[in-house]
C-alpha cells in the first residue's frame, strides 16, 4: 500500500529549469534529454542556440557553417561537417 502522507520516504529536490543552477543539475542528473538541453541553451541566448547537424553538440560561439544544396547547416567542427556531407552524398548516389 502506498504511503499517502509520504512519511519515511525520501523526497527528491525539484529544480527550476529556468535557473542556471536548476538547468545544470538537471543536465548532470540526465533528467532532461539532449534536445531539451539544446532548447534551453537557445532560450538562454535569446533563441540564438543551435546544435551540430552531425553529432548534436550544442553550438555556442565557435562553429562551422556549410551550405548543402539550398540549405545552410551548422556543425561543431570541420570534421563533423565533412562527415555529414560525405554521408549525405553517399546516400544520394
Domain boundaries, the chain: 15-48, 49-93
Q: Give the residue from 52, 60, 56, 58 showing the smallest Cα distance to 78.
A: 52
Tens-digit pLDDT profile for residues 43-74: 655 444 588 999 999 888 889 999 888 888 89
pLDDT at 20 over 80: no
Instruction: Give the pLDDT confidence score for residue 55 in this predicted structure.
Output: 92
C-alpha cell belonging to residue 27 = 543536465
C-alpha cell belonging to residue 57 = 553538440
Output the pTM of the full model. Answer: 0.46
pLDDT at 11 over 80: no
pLDDT at 86 over 80: yes
Amino acid at each position: 500500500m502506498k504511503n499517502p502522507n509520504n512519511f519515511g520516504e525520501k523526497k527528491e529536490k525539484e529544480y527550476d529549469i529556468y535557473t542556471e543552477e536548476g538547468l545544470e543539475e538537471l543536465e548532470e542528473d540526465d533528467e532532461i534529454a539532449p534536445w531539451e538541453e539544446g532548447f534551453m541553451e537557445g532560450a538562454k541566448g535569446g533563441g540564438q542556440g543551435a546544435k551540430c547537424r552531425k553529432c548534436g553538440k550544442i553550438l555556442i560561439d565557435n562553429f562551422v557553417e556549410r551550405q548543402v544544396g539550398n540549405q545552410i547547416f551548422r556543425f561543431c567542427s570541420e570534421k563533423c561537417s565533412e562527415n555529414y556531407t560525405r554521408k549525405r552524398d553517399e546516400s544520394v548516389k
